[in-house]
Structure 1
Amino acid sequence: MADQQRIHPVSDIESPPQASPTAPLVPVGSTKSDHVNPVQQHQPDNSHGTAPVNHTRTPKKRRSCWCRCLCWTLSIILLLIVIIGIIVGILFLVFRPKLPDYSIDGLEVTRFNLSSNSSLSAGFDVNITARNPNRRIGIYYEGGSRITVWYNETQLVQGSIPKFYQGHRNTTVLVVPMSGQIQNGTNLLASLQQQQLQTGNIPLLLRARQPVRVKLGSLKLPEMKFTVRCRLVVDALSANNAIRISRSSCRFRFRL
């Protein structure tokens, strides 16, 4: 009876079976790459020993320093422009500058004849009137001036204005002698005669380039140059005859 009541142990069927040490860690039907750590997938391959590239950025301090320098430079330039404008405005209000006026009042032909070698010898005396309408501004006419008279594209004569000082509200009349030598003057003389027969007058162009110094009160400004262009229409060009100027107009321009 004792043998019949002996209890034999029975294995627990509800506990899960233990995995075999040789069982694969990857489930059936899936690849190993499907369960790789995503962080490890994006790591660069450093198997060849190459160092990773680090992208550096320009420091913000350099950029801000450059911007400050540019702002300071623009501010200084703007300030200088404002100061110069104020000074010019004050000078304009004090001196009330006006441009001088020039006119050609007379032209005398002293020589205009052909030589034996067909060159044309010309000589003019030009009466120039210069007016300075300013109350507090004087004009120094410096040396180195050049005056020329042209017919079409041919220069007939040239001369220069002597040095002198023109005071306030002054009118000065100058007689400027001019001379020239034109090669192959036969063709030029024939063209002048034909022009006179067809129209009854001859157009001329007078050009002047004069260096001057302007005096504001007791202050002398640096030397500058001005140019004058005068268009003339005369009735003839012949020696020892009275030349009448039918039209005359001049333009004046300063050049620093």
Structure 2
Amino acid sequence: MTDQNQPPKDPPPQQPPPNMGEGKPPKPNPPAPDQGGAARRFCCLCIFIFLLLAGAAVLTVWLIYRPHKPRFIVVGAAIYGLNATSQPFISTSMQFTIVTRNPNKRVSIFYNKLQAYVSYRNQQITPTMDLPPLYHETKRTVSLSPVLGSGMVPASAEVVNGLMIDETYGVVALKVVLLGKLRWKAGAIRTLKYGFYVRCDVWVGLKKGVVGPVPLLGAPPCKVDI
């Protein structure tokens, strides 16, 4: 039986919740400014400005001088030998007078690794010949007269038969080819070397047994690719 006059017991003290105000992680420090990244961006900006100014300077010089391609034309021809009897080879000896014009007023031209040969029906009929380097001054005309051939070159039956038929008619269509590298020079400025390819279509009056100069029946200006 319970004693109703007994005083009530005090409630047990309440424990504070765990991790309240203790073990709190410290606040992270603010990140330091990225000085290395700023320096890199500044360097990139300087390089970009330099390249932009250099490109503008080159473009200005190019627009002022504006180098044009040289011009070529064949003005004379001579045939000293044409032997197509030793199939599948052919032996020829030809000379062509080629006039080249530098149309630029302020830009001269250097020719390096200059070579020449003759083709017939898109097949080479003379060995490739190395020509000496050439310096072409502004607004000047230069004449070249290389003797091409004097060597055996493989030839197809189409080439041999075509030459024999053309000799019978007295008209032979040939192509004189010049190739190599050139660069332009304007004052102290020199460009990089550029490959060039010159194709000169010529029609010569050739009959069997004729040796020496032959008439040019057609020789339009040569096509120049750079």
Q: CA deviation at 1:169?
A: 1.0
Q: CA deviation at 1:96?
A: 3.5
Specify which of 161, 165, 180 is matched with residue 194 of structure 1.
165
Q: Distance in 1 between matches of 2:159 and 2:138?
A: 43
2:119 pairs with 1:150? yes
Deviations 1:106-154 (Å, cap 9, x if unpaired)? 1211111246677431011111111112122111222x22222111132
What amino acid is the match of 1:210?
G
What amino acid is the match of 1:233?
W
- Percentage of pairs with the same residue: 22
Higher relative contact order (CA 8 A, sep 6+): 2
Three-state SS of the structure 2 residue aligned to 1:99 is coil
Specify which of 229, 243, 247 is matched with residue 219 of structure 2.
247
Map of 1:234 onto structure 2: 204
Map of 1:177 onto structure 2: 147
Map of 1:86 onto structure 2: 56
Task: Determine if contact 1:114/1:186 at 8 Å carries over to the other structure.
Answer: no
**CA 1:105–1:89: 2 relative to 1, 3 Å:** same
Between Structure 1 and Structure 2, whose CA radius of gyration is higher? 1
2:199 pairs with 1:225? no
Q: Distance in 2 between matches of 1:241 and 1:172?
A: 21
Q: Distance in 2 between matches of 1:233 and 1:75?
A: 60
Deviations 1:162-212 (Å, cap 9, x if unpaired)? 2121111111001111114234677634322324556x5322222221212
Instruction: Work out the number of aligned pairs and report it.
Output: 189
Map of 1:66 onto structure 2: none
Q: Distance in 2 between matches of 1:116 and 1:196?
A: 17
RMSD: 3.6
Give the structure-2-normalised TM-score: 0.66
Give the structure-1-normalised TM-score: 0.59
Q: Unaligned regions of 5+ residues in structure 1, if any?
A: 1-70
What amino acid is the match of 1:102?
F
Q: Unaligned regions of 5+ residues in structure 2, if any?
A: 1-40
